[in-house]
Structure 1
Amino acid sequence: MPEYLTDPRDPRLADYTSLRDVELRKSLEAERGLFLAEGEKVIRRAVGSGYPVRSVLTTERWLASLSDVLDGCTVYVVDEAVMEGVAGFQVHRGALASMERLPVPPVPDVLATATRVVVLEDIVDHTNVGAIFRCAAALGVDAVILSPRCADPLYRRSVKVSMGAVFAVPYARMDDWYGGLDTLRSAGFQTLALTPDQGATPLDEVKMGSHVALLMGSEGPGLSPRWLNEASERVCIPMSATAMASGVDSLNVVAATAIACHTLMRG
């Protein structure tokens, strides 16, 4: 039976507090081994992917629509004002679920069953990481590998932007950035470093092998010199001459990933 709560300071709601405070949430979620799923579709996808439910926080209006996936779960029901008081903002999708994290597999285990992967170096924006996972899922990429400093795919913003795609694409996090590409090479992956440099090989002209890893860098700096130099080949998305003449020499990392993944999967 759902529990009806009226106090936003109720200790039973501790998993849901201060969702806009990024640093607090990162430490709290790491300490408790949890992440938050927001909205009916994302909650369903998290449950369907095998993540255990710690509890659900919802309003009366959304309770019935989630009833089939909440059997046996701890469910807290509050009014809109209490929901906003707990979360720190208006939760438009009306439901939040606190989910237990599952162990993240080692990089070699993920690579063992993959042939096309995207590797992210130091992309720290949660929105970009979530959107990249959505691109990877939509275009059929086998896995995503994260450098040690990449943003958490299970942070609430990443999960929300990905529409739950972070649950659909296997991923792993490197333990070591400096030697991170060695693991890819050892697994037989051709590494393609995407760069805005138009002197690089156009991506659609690359002869791709059976196992290919697409390396993507952060907004602004792009890939580090080390990863650019260690890659099998530097590649680019050709820009139009008109765009280049007007100073538009690159795409944002999400748009570039979408185009590059489409080419990667065709190759």
Structure 2
Amino acid sequence: MSFVEVETLDDPRLDAYARLTEAQLRNKLEPEKGIFIAESLKVIDRALAGGMVPLSVLMTPEWMDAAADMLERIQQAGEGGADVPIYVGPADELQKLTGFKLTRGILCAMRRPKMPSAEDLLATCRNGGPARRVAVLEGIVDHTNVGAIFRSAAALNVDAVLVTPTCCDPLYRRAVRVSMGTVFQVPWTRLGEDVHDWPGQGLERLHALGFKTAAMALSDDSVSLGDPTLAAEEKLALVFGTEGDGLSPRTIATCDYTVRIPMSHGVDSLNVAAASAVAFWELCAR
């Protein structure tokens, strides 16, 4: 293995970990050069199992023994068979990185995967057949919520997740961390690249694929989540809106259903991540 000792975060070889912003890592102008950071052994394990390609590792010396098997797997998965440099630095220096104490001493820079079209993604999902239950995230901007939704989607048999152009990046560090690496287990892609692609074109594409769309929103004409008509739909896309404002009026008007979760004690709604878990449990195969 290629172990490289570093003494300071000022080392230019650590730019991906210490200086590049999330926008710079994503590299929208050249997506094939984009990078994301996986944090902790469990997340890295799920990323490798999902076919992600490691570019480098940053870790503290005390984790070298515990991570030995993982480091072997990382070397085997290197880009084009090349050695993956493993940068080893002192704990007191690496802890200057935001959240490093939460990563159990190891970070891995990985190549961003090429995103498939929604049509290709939904044709064959993790059940081996076409997707039947899909989550659509409209403009959700909190990375914690996005990570939590992915974790629920993985646990509760959602076939795929689609994110709209204004939704935050599921490969943002915090989103990946909160998801516990399930962003690498649940098939996902963006439903359009430009803000003008949603909701009009995006919903049209879902309808063309045979999906009925269900806007999760409070409305006078909404149906209860337990309505048997929803469960009977062969293909159903559950659309969740941004924190605070929820779904746009245009999205609600264009969807086939407006769906509410029945509430008690005067509570009007749930946090979007909690609401998604409830909806997944009710409407996805189990």
Q: What TM-score, normalized to structure 2?
A: 0.86
Q: Is residue 279 of structure 2 the alignment partner of residue 255 of structure 1?
A: no
- State the SS of the aligned residue for 1:104: coil
Amino acid aligned to 1:263: E
The separation in 1 between residues aligned to 2:114 and 2:35, in whole angstroms, is: 11
Q: Which residue of 2 aligns with 1:211?
A: 235
Structure 1 vs Structure 2: percent identity of aligned residues?
45
User: CA RMSD, aligned part only?
Assistant: 1.5
Q: Please list the CA deviations of residues 95-143 of structure 1 after superposition, one character each: whole Å capped at 9, or x if unmatched.
A: 1110111101111111222111001110011111010000000001000
Count of equivalent residues: 256
Q: Is 1:230 aligned with 2:254?
A: yes
CA contact (8 A) 1:198 1:236 kept: no
Structure 2 residues not aligned, in runs of 5+: 28-32, 76-83, 124-129
1:84: which partner in 2?
Answer: 95
Greater Cα offset, 36-45 or 171-180:
171-180
Corresponding position: 1:26 with 2:22:
yes
Structure 1: distance between partners of 2:210 and 2:191: 17
Paired letter, 1:191: T
**1:214-239 superposed Cα distances (whole Å, 9 cap, x missing partner):** 11111111111111001111111001
Partner of 2:53: 52
Query: Over residues 143-192 of structure 1, what are the superposed CA-to-partner deviations in whole Å (9 max), with x where a residue is unaligned?
Result: 00111110100010000000001000001101111321001000000111
For 1:97 and 1:198, the matched residues in 2 are separated by 48
Q: For residue 151 of structure 1, what is the aligned residue in structure 2?
A: 168
State the Cα distance separating 1:199 from its structure 2 match: 4.9
More deviation in 211-220 or 28-37?
28-37
SS in 1 for 2:213: strand
**TM-aligned CA deviation for residue 67 of structure 1:** 1.7
CA distance in 1, matches of 2:204, 2:99: 44
8 Å CA contact 1:142, 1:170 repeated in 2: yes
Q: Is the 8 A contact 2:52 2:113 kept in 1?
A: yes
Letter in 2 for 1:215: V
Deviations 1:58-111 (A, max 9, x none): 0011112222222332101111122123x2454332111101111011111112
TM-score (norm 1): 0.91
How many angstroms apart in 2 are the aligned matches of 1:90 and 1:203? 40
- Counterpart among 106, 113, 126 of residue 117 in structure 2: 106
Cα distance in structure 2, aligned partners of 1:190 and 1:120: 16
Provide structure 1 residue ranges, at least 5 long, that are not aligned to the other structure: 19-23
Aligned to 2:127: none
Distance 1:266 1:70 in 2: 36
SS at match of 1:204: coil
Q: Secondary structure at the match of 2:64?
A: helix
